[in-house]
Structures are given as structure tokens and as C-alpha cells.
Chain A
Amino acid sequence: MTAKYVLDRNKAVPALIGNPDDFLIVAGLAGPAKDIGHMTDKAFLFGGAMGGAVTAGLGLALAQPDKRVICVTGDGDLLMSLGSLATVGVMKPSNFSVVCVDNGLYQETGGQQSHTGHGIDLAQVASGCGFTVTRDISEESEIEEASGLLRQSNGPTFVLLRVDSTPSPKGVRNLQASETKTAFREHLLGHR
């Protein structure tokens, strides 16, 4: 079976996430931070610290068990932190989802093929790591059901969203994490 990388992330990510205010969102560096930063100013966006997005999302999910928490990250970030999927699988936070926007490429660094581009299947890895719900999406018709799962599933939930090499939207993000951290906390907690 050959995986299809045909979806345009500029349409597929907003379609999957829907209203970002339904979630607390942490986004991994590069593409996913741009995708999510284009949709909302309330997410915490990584701009470095590659491999840290999933466990940051896990910490947030453990701290806020009554909110739905999503980590949106890329295949490169997730490949650097495969063990964090096992850590999520041990903790089994039912309110937590990982969305991997998988283009099979290291687009930021010149489009080198990533391990997923070589056929490594992160949805199967997540399933083996104890995610209770996993989806592998490569067609538009599959997005709506997964969008519902992000809101209602008894997770942890993993959605692999296979996209083509279309770049993320351009735009200027605030890369000062001390400021975005404070803004995130003020919005969620009412204090800095």
C-alpha cells in the first residue's frame, strides 16, 4: 500500500481543527506552528526545541483535565521524540490528542525526505504506543469524522494527517516564547 500525500495543509488543517477555541493548542516548530498561528493567537507555538511539542501538550493535558488539549506537530518533530508517544500511552490522558501534519519532508531545511516519506507509519507507532484512537487520513472525506473525534473521543487520540508539499501560510509570528507563554496563561488562568 502506498500512502497518499495529496491533501493541501492550508485546507486540511483548518478543516480538521475547526474552531480552535474548542481546544488548548500546542504546536510544534516550523510548519505546524505556522498553520496554527494563522488560525489563532491563543495557541502556544514552538519555534525551536525540536521534539518537545508532544510532552509539552501532555503536561498541559495533565494540568487541565477538563479541557480538550491538542498537540499539532510535524513528522520531523515527532520522529525526534517517538518515545514521547510511549509516555503519552502510559499516562493515557483522555482529553489529549496528537495531530501529526505529515508531509514526509523536512520542508524547513530544503525538502529532504523524512522517515515517514520513506514509509515509516506514525499512526501505527501511535497505536502500538497505546493511543486508544488512531486515524490515518489522506483524503478529504475522512477529515470530518476525525474532527469530531478530537472533540469527543476517550483518548489519547492520534490523527495522522498526510499532506502534500504545499508550504504553510506565510505570516509573522511572535517568536518570543516568554511573551506567548504569558499570553497563553493569562488567557487560560486569568493571571501571568
Chain B
Amino acid sequence: MNDQPDWREQLYNLLREEDVSIFSYVPDAGHKYLIDRSTEDPEVHAVPLTTEEEGVSLAAGAHLGGKRAVLLMQSSGAGNCINMLSLIQHGRFPFLTFISMRGEYGEGNPWQFAMGQAVEPTMTAMGVQCLTAYTPEDVDAAAKAALTMAFGAEQSVAVLLSQRLLGAKRFDGR
């Protein structure tokens, strides 16, 4: 390990500094750190979801109550959110999600490509602007940009965490 703080820790600290106090998630390896940190943090609510669309309306409800929420999900989960995003787009709610990508750079499981490749077009179609992070440096910059866009300008934003950043699982039995 080098001396730089891990991007995951930086990201969690940034979200907390920006007053995000509700973290909803469907478990995913790419989000393990944020899920663990938010679960252990007594100052925030970590909300496990049964399906990702719950996190969309949860974020809208949090905004009605004056709080900031983020949704942590895998690319497969983006597809589960589509109709619920009409609440966000039509209601012009601020919305911020971090999507750990599958079905792209280095993917070994062919099942993942259909939804993975559809994330950007479907999110864009529902009014969610996508920023992609390929490196640890990208994460900090994209997260700061996305926080400003979502909670400053009431936009709907997804930060896509590429497998170039997260690393791809092996499916070759080795």
C-alpha cells in the first residue's frame, strides 16, 4: 500500500463533508467499503434495499425532509430503477448514485454485458447524467462534480465506477 489515502476512504469522507447522511444500497463488492463505513457510522443511516428502485424514491423522500441521500448500486441495478426515475426527472429532485460497473472493461461473465452496456443509454434516457471514473483521481473529481450538480443544481447524476478502477472478477476458474 502507498501512503495516499485510499480513494474509497476519500470518497466516504467527501460525501460526509457534503452532508450526505443517508446511504442506501444493494450489496456489491465494488461498494463494500462505503457500505461498511456507512453501516458503522452512528451519524448516518445505512439502508439495505431489496431492490435498487427503493433507493430512488428513498432519496426523493429524504429530500422532502431536507436530507441528502446517495444510492450505491451495481450496473445491473440501474435497470431496476428505470420507471422510478420518473419521480426524479418529473419532480426535479436532486439525485446522486454511484454505480459500480460490470459488463465492461475486463468482464469475464457474459451475463453482465447486456445491462452493463445499457447503463449509460438508459440512465441518460431517464435524465440521469453519467460521469465515469477510470482511476482513483477520477473518483474524487467526478464525485465533487456530481455533488455540485446534484445538490447544488438539483440535477440527477450517476458516477460510474469502471472495472478499470475496481478490477474485474475472474471467471476462468483460476
Identify the A interface with B (CB < 8 A): 24, 26, 44, 46, 48-53, 55-64, 81, 83-84, 86-87, 90-91, 177-178, 180-181, 184-185, 188-189
Identify the B interface with A (CB < 8 A): 22, 45, 47-51, 53-67, 69, 83-84, 86-87, 90-93
CB pair B57 A188 closer than 8 Å: no
Contact partner of A55 (CB less than 8 A), chosen from B61, B65, B86, is: B61
CB pair B64 A56 closer than 8 Å: yes
CB pair A91 B45 closer than 8 Å: yes
**Within 8 Å CB of B84, what residues of A?**
49, 51-52
Overall SS of chain A's interface? helix
Shortest B92–chain A CB gap in Å is 4
Contact partner of A60 (CB less than 8 A), chosen from B54, B56, B64, is: B64
**Complex Cα–Cα for A53 and B60 (A):** 10
Shortest A73–chain B CB gap in Å is 11
**Within 8 Å CB of A181, what residues of B?**
60, 63-64, 91-93
CB pair B57 A48 closer than 8 Å: no
**Complex Cα–Cα for A63 and B44 (A):** 10
**Within 8 Å CB of A57, what residues of B?**
61
CB pair A63 B62 closer than 8 Å: yes
**Complex Cα–Cα for A91 and B22 (A):** 12
**Within 8 Å CB of B22, what residues of A?**
59, 62-63
4 residue pairs, one from A and one from B, having the closest CB atoms: A59-B61, A63-B65, A83-B50, A52-B57
23 A-B contacts, Cβ less than 8 Å apart? A24-B65, A26-B64, A49-B84, A51-B53, A52-B87, A56-B57, A58-B47, A59-B57, A59-B60, A59-B61, A62-B45, A62-B67, A63-B62, A63-B65, A81-B53, A84-B54, A86-B50, A87-B47, A90-B48, A178-B90, A180-B91, A181-B63, A181-B92
Contact partner of B54 (CB less than 8 A), chosen from A81, A180, A184, A185, is: A81
CB pair A49 B57 closer than 8 Å: yes
**Complex Cα–Cα for A26 and B91 (A):** 14
For residue B61, which residue of chain A has the nearest CB? A59
**Complex Cα–Cα for A59 and B70 (A):** 11
**Complex Cα–Cα for A51 and B55 (A):** 12
CB pair B86 A188 closer than 8 Å: no
CB pair A59 B86 closer than 8 Å: no
**Within 8 Å CB of B56, what residues of A?**
52
A24-B65, A58-B58, A185-B64 known; A48-B51 Cβ under 8 A: no
Shortest A80–chain B CB gap in Å is 10
CB pair A52 B53 closer than 8 Å: yes
